[in-house]
Amino acid sequence: MAIKRFKKDTPAYFDYTDVKTLQRFINMYGQIEPIGKTGLSSKQQRQLATAIKRARHLALLPFVTQG
């Protein structure tokens, strides 16, 4: 069973310009953490994924990190 790590400090809305918050939900390889680890609802996870993809497209976040 996965440990839900981020349930307490989740924002109501994920903004693609808030890079610091988005980086909390990305693992060391640059992948979006799964819903079991983030502890978000399905709707929040979709909003998070959309915000991360927008930030990557605008070069605010890297697509891949060195691991």
18 vs 65, higher pLDDT: 18
pLDDT of res. 49: 97
Domain assignments of the chain as residue spans, ordered by start: 1-67
- Residue carrying the six token digits 């930030």: 55
Say how many C-beta atoms besides its own lie within 10 A of residue 14's C-beta: 22
Tokens coding 43: 């709707």
Summarised one tens digit per residue, pLDDT across range 20-59 is 999 999 999 999 999 999 999 999 999 999 999 999 999 9
Pick the CATH number of 1-67 from 3.40.50.2300, 4.10.640.10, 3.20.20.140, 1.20.140.150: 4.10.640.10
Distance CA 42, CA 35 (A): 8
pLDDT of res. 3: 59
Distance CA 41, CA 6 (A): 12
Distance CA 58, CA 38 (A): 24
Answer yes or no: is pLDDT of 63 > 70: yes
pLDDT of res. 65: 79
